């Protein structure tokens, strides 16, 4: 069973001269059912897309070949309190 506890997305734009070149979100899930709700253009679909991508299911979003998200997924394992944790960065 996969338990998703946190999703962090960081987007760095090419404008290195600006202080506003980093965008994204850090979303923590709680135990049990989580409902993602919000106004229009607040990132609900982006959260779902990131989860699909992290699970390797981006083709369910209709993306194929060069339209799929960049394959720059990096995986790192660490141990916290005796538990193995998988950290995915993309």
Instruction: Using the structure block, give the residue that is written with the tokens 């069973």.
Output: 1
User: What is residue 35's predicted lDDT score, i.e. its pLDDT?
Assistant: 84
Distance (Å, whole) CA 40 – CA 18: 27
Q: How many helices (H) and strands (E) does the chain have?
A: 1, 4
DSSP tag of 70: P
Q: Is residue 49 classed as helix, strand or coil in its secondary structure? A: helix
Percent above pLDDT 70 for the chain? 57
Instruction: Return the percent helix, strand and coil in the chain, to nearest 5.
Output: 20, 30, 50
Instruction: Dump pLDDT digits (tens) for 26-50.
Output: 889 888 888 888 888 877 887 777 7
Strand partners, 27: 7
User: What is residue 73's predicted lDDT score, i.e. its pLDDT?
Assistant: 45
- 71 versus 15: the higher-pLDDT residue is 15
Return mean pLDDT, the chain. Answer: 71
- As given in the structure block, the two tokens for residue 43 are 């990132």
Residue 66 has pLDDT above 60, yes or no: no
């Amino acid at each position: 069973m996969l338990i998703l506890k946190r999703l962090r997305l960081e987007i760095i734009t090419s404008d290195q001269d600006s202080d506003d070149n980093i965008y994204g979100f850090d979303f923590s899930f709680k135990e049990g059912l989580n409902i993602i709700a919000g106004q229009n253009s607040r990132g609900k679909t982006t959260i779902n897309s990131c989860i699909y991508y992290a699970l390797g299911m981006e083709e369910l979003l209709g993306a194929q070949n060069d339209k799929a998200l960049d394959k720059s997924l990096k995986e790192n394992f660490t141990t916290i309190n005796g538990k193995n944790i998988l950290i995915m960065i993309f």
